[in-house]
Amino acid sequence: MLIKAQIHFHTSSDPYDRFLKYSPYEAIDCAYENWYKIISFTHHKELIYDCKLKNYALDKWIILIPWVEYNIWKKHVLIYNADDELYNVKTFEDLIEYKKHRKRLFIIAPHPFYPFIPCLKKRNMYKYHGLFDAIEFSAFYTWKLWLKANQKVVDYAKEFNKPIVWAADVHNLKTINDTYSLVDVNFDIENLEKSKIDSYINDFFESIKLWKVKVITHPLTLRKILINNLWLINWVLKRSIKNTIKLKKKKKVI
């Protein structure tokens, strides 16, 4: 059974992206209106999985997956099924050891080849290729701009035999359908049993590992990128200015 999935999703509950205007509940409502059956709130740095949210999603026939966009050396990594011990992970070597003792852990490399600080880039992707269970094809591209970053994802997936997931890295509900995955699962999404949610999630990830994923992606126009992300560009500029001011103050104190 093919189901629609968006597994890279941020909301106003994200401790890093507090500037977002929509709540997790509004995000679930939007996912329901757009026929999503599996979503994941990949909030930065912190493991956030509210049972009320989980049940709210289930009432709309949506499975909410617990996930986190973790930060290692200022690089982002998507990690599923982690626990509080993850906070002891400071390096990629630590994460490798952490994963050895957790069979259900699933790790995805998000937007890996983009030229931004949080992106893993070639060095980390090749050095730690055994760490990643899948690799993300990001929605943030046009036919001319950043398409090569996603082409590198395709090439890397072939070289290391990694499945690809397609995701929108949602920071704006208007972008929820720009890029997403259709995953062929073995359970009936219309007859969910709450007691079996964990097995459904495991089945979902097993389907990804078996490459049972279809792509739905739409190259963006530069105009759409600018319109949909003006708030993000504004926030990045403000944060950069604030960090620069803090750095100058520290230097004066020294």
Both 159 and 45 in a single domain?
yes
Q: Find the helix packing angle between 24-33 and 51-58, rounded to 10°.
A: 20
- Do residue 58 and residue 112 come from a single domain? yes
Residue 53: phi, psi to the nearest 5?
-65, -45
Domain CATH number, residue 109: 3.20.20.140
CA atoms within 13 A on the CB side of 246: 6
Shared domain for 121 and 232, answered yes or no, is no
Residues 132 and 195 reside in one and the same domain: yes
Which residues are CB-contacts of 71 (< 8 A; sequence separation ≥ 6)? Answer: 44, 45, 77, 118
Residue 79's CB: how many other CB atoms inside 10 A?
A: 23
Averaged pLDDT, 211-218: 91
Q: How high is the pLDDT of residue 16?
A: 81
Q: What is the pLDDT of residues 97-110, one digit of tens each?
A: 999 988 889 999 99
Q: What is the value of pTM for the model shown?
A: 0.87
214 and 237 co-located in one domain: no
What was the pLDDT predicted at 160? 97
Residue with tokens 């009320």: 52
Please, which pLDDT band fits residue 154 given cuts at 50, 70 and 90? very high
Residue 52 has pLDDT above 80, yes or no: yes
**Domain of 15, in residue numbers:** 2-220
Residue type for position 225: I
Contact status, residue 10 vs residue 198, Cβ threshold 8 Å: no
Same domain, 230 and 169: no
Strand arrangement of the beta sheet that strand 63-72 belongs to: 164-167, 134-138, 106-109, 75-80, 63-72, 38-41, 2-9, 179-184, 213-217
Question: Same structural domain for residues 140 and 252?
Answer: no
Q: In this predicted model, what pLDDT tens digit does every residue of 85-99 receive, in sequence order?
A: 999 999 999 999 999
Q: Which residue type, as a one-letter code, is found at position 155?
A: D
Identify whether residues 246 and 179 lie together within a single domain: no
Q: In terms of DSSP H, where are the helices of the chain?
A: 24-33, 51-58, 92-100, 121-127, 147-160, 197-209, 222-253
177 secondary structure, DSSP code:
T
> Which is it for strands 106-109 and 63-72: parallel, antiparallel or unpaired?
unpaired
Query: 141 and 80 share a domain?
Result: yes
Within 10 A of 35 (CB to CB), how many other CB atoms are there? 11
d(CA 96, CA 106): 12
One domain, residues 89 and 192: yes
The fraction of the chain above a pLDDT of 90, given in percent, is 63
Cβ pair 69, 76 in contact under 8 A: yes
**Cβ-Cβ contacts under 8 Å for 81 (sequence gap 6 or more):** 66, 102, 104, 105, 106, 201
Q: How many domains would you assign to the chain? A: 2
| pLDDT score at 212 | 96
